[in-house]
């Protein structure tokens, strides 16, 4: 939520001279963007809008169901934090979005521009086709010439406007002396226009105005589909980035002030509340707590923190409030240094050539040579420049990559839409093609296969009386282990014991008095127990031997199915984690993964992925932490869950939006089918060319045949793509 302030420079010159006071700045309405992942029907729209509009200060709220967002205009002092609880009460999950990170308008301009060009091309081609049909059905002499002239009058301005993207692309390719798909397109369009104008001025029989326009129309349709798919992915990715509103609490003369993370400087004192993420690297000056480092290292065991402990940006503070003196901010934090590793690994991936590119590489020179040969052949055979040029134009038009231009975007649109509904976001244009080739899958453990939330494992080992005390103590803390313990005990029907003097000691645990005896729940050392290799909370009742409550990281839903399905489809599955050996071994056994590596450093992960790649394997890396980032970038294709760190999401090609891991196996299958459809589409387009090109070279092609070949191949290709659903 940002409150936009009007510039203070007032209209009268006297006021400009006056010092700008904050009071003079008239606050404008606040723009609040909310993400509503749960809305899905007209009832939801109505409820959300009614609830929001009923809030004091809200002037207008509008829901966008396509983007699952609500935009709220409200009085300047309204905060998203006031609106979210109201929505949650109404039964809708809501998150604040950073409006600065949502640059919807700029994206939209490009899409709108394409849509306008598409509309103009469609309008013009329909009108010209109407005239062409009359010519084909037998209009002659003056009537035919008039129809051709009218067609020319419609076509020339329409092409000048709607084919601009192709002209620009072709020009930028030619300028660096390269060929792309747009060069034959532009050549075909221009040659068709020139020969048609020439023919028309000589009262000739054949004009290709309709062909030039339908060609533009179909190709623009392909471009637009391509754009839409990417725009949807981009807006959802932006939304993920916008979810983390970068704010920090800076201590100024002992008072907390909320500021943007980008305004923090080295030496600032920053307050991090329990549950908050470290915005900077630094040293703890005040407070005791425990830190969750799993996103950075993969370790699940929380680390004890006290004044003097060095912390890195990205770690999560668990129990007590901490004050940190910043030692590195912004780009210098260890979080950002990791990005350099990613950049190095990325350069390897750009070597991949998409199917469309490799088709174009084969296709563009072939078409030019064929057309030039038929021009030369006919020029030598008939000695007539006009006939030769006409035939060369016909060859170019008929071979023009209409169907090729649609072949890839039509399939990727269908496949991406299908995966998006299952909760996967395809970020990279060639991600689907690369996913289809995968034969090895590498998983990270913490936060990827596991949900990052602990689960109590030995509830049955304890007496009811101990459990009652443990539950009462656990309810006094918001530590993840305490919450897991409390949840498990409540589900087992345990009632909390009556305790007095309950207090939480940040970094250690909770302590209370129970019928005169001191009871403690917390770290091993604090209650006088030996630290084992498992995640555990210890309960000490009076002077009795401390009891261990052991925890395991809960599996993410769908993890077992995903691993089983991937193994069933013949892929090699590996588990590489930064966590301790016993924890990794336990999980690998549970999931049936025989190939696992524990205590891996970030470099080890990337090196292992690289080694697999060098063996000729196509690796899919699934990971969420900073320690996975380099491996994500080094892999052939990568997936990260939406809960991953920003850096990991940026490095990956596909983002998993939901909690469920199940879609990963489906995605591989969908990607394989999609690639098959793309290849089929190329074959269909080739078959049409094989039939039509000899006719064109032989000089038998008429505008009618060109129009038929072009339309039928484009439509067959689109229909074939739709079969994917």
Partner 1 sequence: MDVLTFLIPISLFLGGIGLVAFLYTVRSNQYDDPEGDARRILNSDYDDHPKP
Binding site for partner 1 (CB under 8 A): 41-42, 45-46, 63-67, 108, 112, 115-116, 119-120, 123, 126-127, 130-131, 143, 146, 150, 154
Alpha helices in 137-176 (DSSP H): 141-162, 164-175
Q: How far is the CB of 112 from partner 1 (least distance, A)?
A: 6
112 vs 723, beta carbon nearer partner 1? 112
Sheet holding 424-426, edge to edge: 424-426, 654-656, 637-641, 619-622, 440-443, 572-576, 595-597
For partner 1, the closer of residues 41 and 568 by Cβ is: 41
Q: Where is 340: in which H helix or E strand?
A: helix 334-349
3-state secondary structure 512-573: EEECCEEEEEECHHHHCCCCCCCEEEEEEECCCCCEEEEEEEEECCCHHHHHHHHHHCCCEE
Of 215, 199, 219, which is closest to residue 152 (Cα–Cα)? 199
Locate tokens 């509009």: which residue?
53
Report in angstroms how near the CB of residue 575 gets to partner 1 at its nearest: 39
- The DSSP secondary structure of 455-503, one letter per residue, reads EE--GGGS-HHHHHHHHHHHTT---HHHHHHHHHHHHTTPPPPP-EEEE
**Toward partner 1, which CB reaches closer, 150 or 303?**
150
Choice between 116 and 168, CB closer to partner 1: 116
444 labelled catalytic: yes
The least distance separating partner 1 from the CB of residue 111, rounded to whole angstroms, comes to: 9
- Residue 71 or residue 671: which is nearer to partner 1 going by CB? 71
Smallest separation, CB 42 to partner 1 (Å) = 4
Whole-angstrom Cα distance, residue 703 to residue 134? 13
Q: In the complex with partner 1, which residue's Cβ is closer, 46 or 260?
A: 46
Pairing of strands 95-97, 58-64: unpaired
Shortest distance (Å) from residue 346 CB to partner 1 = 33
What's 27's DSSP letter? Answer: B
> Helix, strand, or coil here: 253?
coil
Residue 38 C-beta: closest distance to partner 1, Å: 15
Sheet holding 69-74, edge to edge: 58-64, 69-74, 30-35, 95-97
Radius of gyration of the chain (CA): 33
C-beta closer to partner 1: residue 116 or 601:
116
For residue 408, the minimal CB distance to partner 1 (Å) is: 24
**Please, which residue, 36 or 619, has the CB nearer to partner 1?**
36
Q: Which residue among the candidates 281, 444, 553, 653 is catalytic per the annotation?
A: 444
Name 69's bridge partners. Answer: 35, 64
Residue 406 beta carbon to partner 1: minimum distance, rounded to whole angstroms = 21
Residue 50, C-beta contacts closer than 8 angstroms, at least 6 positions apart: none
Residue listed under structure tokens 């909310």? 34
Residue 122 CB, nearest approach to partner 1 (Å)? 9
For Cα atoms 688, 694, 695, give the angle at the middle one, nearest 5 degrees: 90
Q: At which residue do the structure tokens 């909690």 appear?
A: 659
Q: Which is nearer to partner 1, 151 or 374 (CB)?
A: 151
Distance CA(141)–CA(134), nearest Å, equals 12
At 567, give phi and psi (nearest 5°): -65, -40
Cα 554 to Cα 551: distance, rounded to the nearest angstrom: 9
| DSSP tag of 39 | -
- List of long-range contacts for 134-142, beta carbons under 8 Å, 24+ apart: 135/207, 136/702, 136/703, 136/704, 141/203
Nearer to partner 1, 125 or 312 (CB): 125
How far is residue 581's CA from residue 599's CA, in Å, rounded to a whole number?
7
Task: Output the smallest distance, CB 349 to partner 1, in A.
Answer: 34
Q: Annotated catalytic sites, by residue?
A: 444
């Amino acid at each position: 939520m940002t409150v936009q302030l009007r510039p203070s420079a007032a209209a009268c010159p006297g006021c400009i001279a006056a010092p700008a006071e904050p009071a003079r700045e008239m606050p404008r309405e606040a723009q609040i963007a909310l993400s509503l992942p749960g809305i899905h029907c007209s009832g939801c729209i109505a409820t959300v809008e009614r609830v929001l509009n009923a809030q004091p200060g809200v002037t207008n709220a509008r829901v966008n169901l396509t983007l699952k967002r609500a935009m709220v205009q409200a009085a300047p002092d309204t905060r998203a934090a006031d609106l979210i609880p109201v929505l949650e009460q109404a039964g809708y999950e809501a998150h604040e979005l950073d409006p600065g990170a949502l640059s919807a308008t700029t994206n939209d301009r490009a899409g709108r521009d394409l849509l306008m060009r598409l509309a103009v091309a469609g309008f013009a081609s329909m009108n010209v086709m109407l005239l062409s049909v009359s010519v084909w059905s037998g209009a002659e002499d003056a009537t035919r010439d008039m129809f051709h002239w009218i067609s020319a009058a419609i076509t020339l301005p329409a092409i000048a406007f709607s084919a601009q993207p192709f002209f620009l692309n072709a020009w930028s390719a030619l300028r660096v002396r390269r060929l792309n798909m747009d060069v034959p397109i532009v050549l075909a369009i221009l040659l068709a226009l020139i020969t048609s104008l020439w023919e028309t001025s000589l009262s000739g029989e054949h004009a290709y105005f309709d062909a030039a326009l339908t060609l533009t129309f179909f190709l623009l349709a392909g471009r637009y589909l391509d754009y839409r798919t990417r725009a949807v992915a981009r807006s959802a990715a932006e939304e993920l980035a916008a979810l983390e509103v970068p704010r920090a609490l800076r201590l100024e003369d002992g008072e907390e002030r909320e500021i943007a993370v980008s305004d923090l400087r080295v030496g600032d004192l920053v307050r991090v509340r329990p549950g908050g993420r470290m915005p900077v690297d630094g040293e703890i000056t005040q407070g005791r707590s425990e830190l969750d480092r799993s996103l950075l290292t993969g370790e699940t065991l929380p680390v004890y923190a006290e004044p003097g402990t060095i912390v890195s940006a990205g770690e999560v503070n668990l129990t007590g409030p901490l004050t940190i003196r910043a030692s590195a901010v912004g780009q210098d934090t260890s979080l950002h240094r990791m990005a350099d590793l990613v950049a190095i690994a990325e350069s390897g991936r750009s070597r991949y050539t998409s199917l469309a590119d490799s088709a174009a590489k084969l296709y563009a020179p072939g078409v030019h040579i064929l057309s030039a040969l038929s021009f030369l052949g006919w020029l030598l055979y008939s000695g007539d420049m006009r006939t030769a040029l006409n035939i060369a134009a016909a060859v170019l038009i008929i071979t023009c990559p209409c169907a090729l231009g649609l072949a890839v975007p039509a399939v990727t649109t269908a496949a991406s839409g299908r995966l998006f509904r299952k909760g996967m976001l395809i970020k990279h244009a060639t991600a689907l093609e690369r996913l289809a080739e995968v034969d090895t899958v590498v998983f990270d453990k913490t936060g990827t296969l596991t949900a990052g939330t602990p689960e109590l494992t030995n509830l049955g080992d304890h007496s009811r009386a101990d459990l009652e005390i443990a539950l009462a103590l656990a309810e006094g803390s918001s530590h993840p282990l305490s919450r897991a313990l409390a949840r498990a005990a409540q589900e087992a029907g345990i009632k909390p014991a009556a305790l007095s003097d309950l207090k939480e000691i940040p970094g250690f645990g909770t302590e209370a008095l129970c019928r005169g005896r001191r009871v403690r729940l917390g770290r091993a050392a604090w209650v006088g127990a030996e630290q084992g290799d498992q995640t555990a909370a210890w309960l000490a009742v009076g002077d009795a031997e401390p009891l261990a409550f052991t925890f395991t990281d809960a599996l993410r839903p769908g993890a077992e199915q995903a691993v089983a399905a991937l193994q069933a489809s013949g892929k090699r599955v590996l588990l590489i984690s930064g966590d301790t050996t016993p924890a990794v071994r336990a999980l690998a056994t549970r999931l049936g993964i025989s190939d696992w590596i524990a205590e891996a450093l970030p470099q080890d992960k990337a090196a292992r992925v690289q080694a697999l790649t060098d063996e000729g394997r196509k690796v899919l890396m699934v990971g969420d932490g900073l320690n996975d980032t380099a491996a994500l970038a080094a892999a052939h294709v990568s997936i990260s869950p939406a809960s991953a760190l920003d850096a990991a999401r940026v490095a990956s090609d596909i983002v998993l939006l939901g909690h469920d891991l199940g879609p990963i196996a489906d995605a591989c299958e969908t990607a394989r089918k999609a690639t098959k459809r793309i290849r089929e589409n190329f074959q269909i387009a080739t078959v049409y060319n094989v039939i039509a090109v000899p006719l064109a070279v032989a000089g038998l092609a008429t505008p009618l045949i060109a129009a038929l070949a072009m339309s039928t191949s484009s439509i067959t290709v689109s229909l074939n793509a739709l079969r994917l659903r």
